[in-house]
Chains A and B, each alone.
Chain A
């Protein structure tokens, strides 16, 4: 009987593209597809996460400067020291549940870290990478 449950459960997991997807993340990925993204790639998202560029103050900066690389742990704003809640949707259930909020922070943080807004492809890669955490 347990075996049957496990089978059903694994079947369900296989059906959902990412385990921790939310209606908001589905809608966001759909909007990136509509903007021309063919395939979102978590590996590219992961590589971009630590890609460093020089910020306005001449310091090297990446997403991980503030958020860290362990998504189950909180991060720290590099200037204000403000604690940033964990990125992992498993640890922080609030993550990726509000479409507007995700877009707001993509816009702000891409500009802070890279000095420009992210493309739909980059956002799709990031989001897929986050959801796989």
Chain B
């Protein structure tokens, strides 16, 4: 009886996982980095438009409910104080791409952690507000990020994460400018 219950529970977990995931399970299993990292940006327009002003943050860095709030015409008119408005066609492509690849749609480790840490409560509008991201960075002294002329902000991922664009945020690939030994 107990055994049956456990297998039923396991099956339920498997099914629910498959239901939230946009990535195919087979594809995910064939990607060795899934255990650690997140899916790099593949959409050209997304890379070009978002990457024109800042690091093109992978959609897997935020849950879909955050992208839904960020990527509207009204929201983009005041995108953290700047006008990042897009024409309707471009916005639709970028919105659809972000939603389809949001954190909860991915099997990759970082995205799973982000999805879990943002599952409850208000959707974060900044990646730096995600609890998982905050926790991962909270022991780094301020002088190395805010006080570091070459970094300036936690939002500047690729200042230290040298392989950020490839979706690799592993500690081994971190090099903090001006603090090579940290």
A-to-B contact residues, CB < 8 Å: 55-57, 77, 79-82, 107-108, 111-112
B152 proximal to A (CB < 8 A): yes
Instruction: Decide if B85 touches A108 in the complex (CB within 8 Å).
Output: yes
With contacts A77-B53, A79-B81, A82-B52 known, what are 14 further pairs, Cβ within 8 A? A55-B81, A57-B81, A79-B80, A80-B53, A80-B55, A80-B153, A80-B155, A80-B156, A81-B150, A81-B159, A82-B51, A82-B53, A107-B83, A112-B82
The distance from the CB of B67 to the nearest CB of chain A, in whole angstroms, is 19
Question: Interface 1/0s, chain B 55-69, versus A by CB < 8 A?
Answer: 100000000000000
The distance from the CB of B2 to the nearest CB of chain A, in whole angstroms, is 55
Residue from A57, A108, A111 with most neighbouring chain B CB atoms (10 Å): A108
Q: Give the B interface residue count (CB, 8 A).
A: 17
B-to-A contact residues, CB < 8 Å: 51-55, 80-85, 150, 152-153, 155-156, 159
Residue of A nearest to B159 (CB): A81
Residue of B nearest to A117 (CB): B83
